[in-house]
Amino acid sequence: MPDQVNADAFLPDRELDATHLTFVRMVRAFAADKLLPHARRIDEECEFRRDAVRELAAAGLLGGPIATEFGGQAWSPMQIALANEEVGAVCANTRGFMAVQTGLVAQCIERFGDAAQKKAWLGKLCAGAAIGCFALTEENAGSDVAALACHARRAGDGYTLHGHKIWITNGGVADVAIVFATIDKTRGRDGITAFLVPTARAGLSRARMPGKEMGHRGSDHAALTFADFAASAHEVLGGEGQGFKVAMGGLNAGRLSVAAGAVGIHRAALAASLAFTTTRQQFGKPIAHFQMVQERLADMAVALHAARALVWRCAGLRAKGHETPSDLAVAKLFATEAAARAADVAIQLHGGRGYTSAYPVERLLRDVTALRIYEGTSMIQKTIVARGLTTT
């Protein structure tokens, strides 16, 4: 008889109080019912699944952290972490959509927007009636945000935007965009301004990014080109020259969800490895009985618990208002790198089967690779941690 797999080895349930346990099981049931049946297909067919937007909204997952007065659920930071782990364990594409829609876009509007901007967009974003994107990255402005070339020229009472953005998640399907442009490049980061604009306006052209992504193939990744794109003064988000602050606020919000999503992928890799190694027979017994396999399973489990603990630590600090960029960087760095190692080991434990899309582990490795890049590469996270240690 094969070994019985101990679910406590990879699920967070045993450590949760009754309220959080109920919440986790709700999100887990949603992910199993609505997302799991499509996760493999949308990856293989490179399909952005619009039905998932409606389903997420109906379940209250799109407006999770947003205040109830704007149509959200007022989740705590811990609930944000738990939801992203559960969705990330099933479908990285959907978790990535949630992170952009809710973290980078809706939470930025809630934090930096004026009353009119909040009224115009937050309800629609929470209800899935509008899709948002965060148009920051450029050809020569990735980690170096202050180097962006997209510029905004004053035109009457407003501005015209000119420039090119790449790798904008949701960019091809978005109804509203937070666009970052400089009003004066000589001012560096102090010239960067954020604009909250509808995309159905003359002067914007969109195209799918060329090539085929390594992972997150069920996501929409687009290049956006702005040419004489008009933006009014009322569409400035957070104030003129405050765009760098808006961008960093959005990225910090997103890093918690990315780290929690990596915990989800890590958990899925461990669960798949346990299921496979306890049933796969070699030399007359399950391969989970072999010491070298046990060592790898143990390492995966220890790293999973450590990564989750760092994510929960950040959630606790955020709830108290004590979170720092270094805290987030530690969690994102450790969780994403640990998940990448776990996914790689999972493929090795599956042998030849791990090399095919008939099993989920090869997709886990492809998807987690992006999490080591999104919202700041692992190298950038190390820089943030080091600065936190050496700057008083």
Q: Which of 371, 338, 319, 304 is nearest to 327 (CA)?
A: 319
- Judge whether residue 108 has pLDDT over 90: yes
310 contacts 334 by C-beta, under 8 angstroms:
yes
CA–CA distance, 270 with 298 (Å, rounded to integer): 10
CA–CA distance, 255 with 331 (Å, rounded to integer): 8
Q: What single DSSP character describes residue 210?
A: S
Q: Which of 72, 82, 63 is nearest to 20 (CA)?
A: 82
Residue 239, classed as helix, strand or coil, is: coil
pLDDT digits (tens, 9 = 90+) for 222-278: 999 999 999 999 999 999 999 999 999 988 888 999 999 999 999 999 999 999 999
pLDDT of residue 142: 80
pLDDT of residue 186: 86
Percent of the chain scoring above 70 in pLDDT: 99
CA–CA distance, 102 with 321 (Å, rounded to integer): 20
Options 55, 85, 86, 375, the catalytic residue: 375
Residue 47 annotated to the active site: no
Model confidence band, residue 4 (pLDDT cutoffs 50, 70, 90): low
Model confidence band, residue 9 (pLDDT cutoffs 50, 70, 90): confident
CA–CA distance, 221 with 206 (Å, rounded to integer): 10
Q: Which of 24, 110, 99, 117 is nearest to 67 (CA)?
A: 110
- Judge whether residue 361 has pLDDT over 70: yes
pLDDT of residue 1: 40
- Judge whether residue 177 has pLDDT over 60: yes
pLDDT digits (tens, 9 = 90+) for 187-202: 889 999 999 999 999 9
> Which residues does residue 163 pair with via DSSP β-bridges, in sequence order?
226
pLDDT of residue 383: 96
pLDDT digits (tens, 9 = 90+) for 201-213: 999 999 999 999 9
Name the residue with tokens 């666009």.
179
pLDDT of residue 252: 85
Tokens describing residue 251:
């990225």
Upper half-sphere CA count for residue 164 (Cβ side, 13 Å): 6
82 contacts 19 by C-beta, under 8 angstroms:
no
Q: Strand 236-237 vs strand 281-282: parallel, antiparallel, or unpaired? A: unpaired
- Judge whether residue 369 has pLDDT over 90: yes
Q: What is the CA radius of gyration of the chain?
A: 21
CA–CA distance, 36 with 387 (Å, rounded to integer): 40
pLDDT digits (tens, 9 = 90+) for 116-152: 999 999 999 999 999 999 999 999 888 888 889 999 9
Model confidence band, residue 392 (pLDDT cutoffs 50, 70, 90): low
Mean pLDDT estimate for the chain: 95
Tokens describing residue 166:
């790449």
Measure the N-to-C terminal CA separation of the chain; round to a whole number of Å: 60
